[in-house]
Amino acid sequence: DIQMTQSPSTLSAFVGDRVTITCRASQSIHIWLAWYQQRPGRAPKLLVYDASILESGVPSRFSGSGSGTEFTLTISSLQPDDFATYYCQQYDTFYTFGQGTKVEIK
Amino acid sequence: QVQLVQSGSEVKKPGSSVTVSCKASGGTFGNYALSWVRQAPGQGLEWMGRVIPVLGTTNYAQDFQDRVTITADKSTNIAYLSLRSLRSDDTAVYYCTRGGDSGSFAFWGQGTLVTVSS
């Protein structure tokens, strides 16, 4: 099975900060990686797919990059709506999620 | 626009079974894989398995292979998750989810809370 490791587990930041979340796969997954945002009590929301393609309607302050085993999600200027938990997911071989990164207000 | 509407919350006894449904509207039901993902309280997301209605094929995560069955009825556009031999650690929100043009999960149901308690 492909394992996905996210870091950090928790991130404290101010509104306006640039934040980066990293996701590492246990083997190459090419570009088959997605990022999701989840707010408490809500279903996850797709932000980025195929490592770097922004889902329709997602603000341009979100961006994804990487290939192979190393991937990042960057929020260029953190907004109040962005305080949530973020998950990466591989879909190269079935599906595996990272353990999540909680973005908290500093 | 694709919408996935799930059945309501369930309370079950340990050792029993539960079936959760997911009705899809919009889009073409049969052509896309429909997966089930669960989330225990305060925990992360865990993929359980999927069905591809047009092919009639299923795939299950190893951790659930012995206890889960996923089916899809193309005539009603409803997918089902059945989980047997329930334990307290099966208490979770269960989501159905469907891909878009990539393999990622573009569409999600609202979630169904299953509580397993004696």
The tens digit of pLDDT for each residue in A48-85 reads 999 999 999 999 999 999 999 999 999 999 999 999 99
Q: What is the pLDDT of residue B34?
A: 95
Nearest by Cα to B97 from B56, B37, B30, B11: B37
**Number of neighbours of residue A99 by Cβ within 10 angstroms:** 17
Q: What is the pLDDT of residue A23?
A: 98
Q: What is the pLDDT of residue A36?
A: 98
Mean pLDDT of chain B: 95
Report, in this order, helix, strand and coil percent for chain B, each rounded to 5. Answer: 10, 50, 40
Cβ-Cβ contacts under 8 Å, A96 against chain B: 47
Contact map slice: A 14-33 vs B, CB within 8 A: 32
Compute the nearest-CA separation of A43 from chain B (Å).
6
Helix (H, G, I), strand (E, B) or coil at A76: coil
Least-confidence region, from A38-42, A43-47, A100-104, B29-33: B29-33
Compute the nearest-CA separation of B94 from chain A (Å).
10
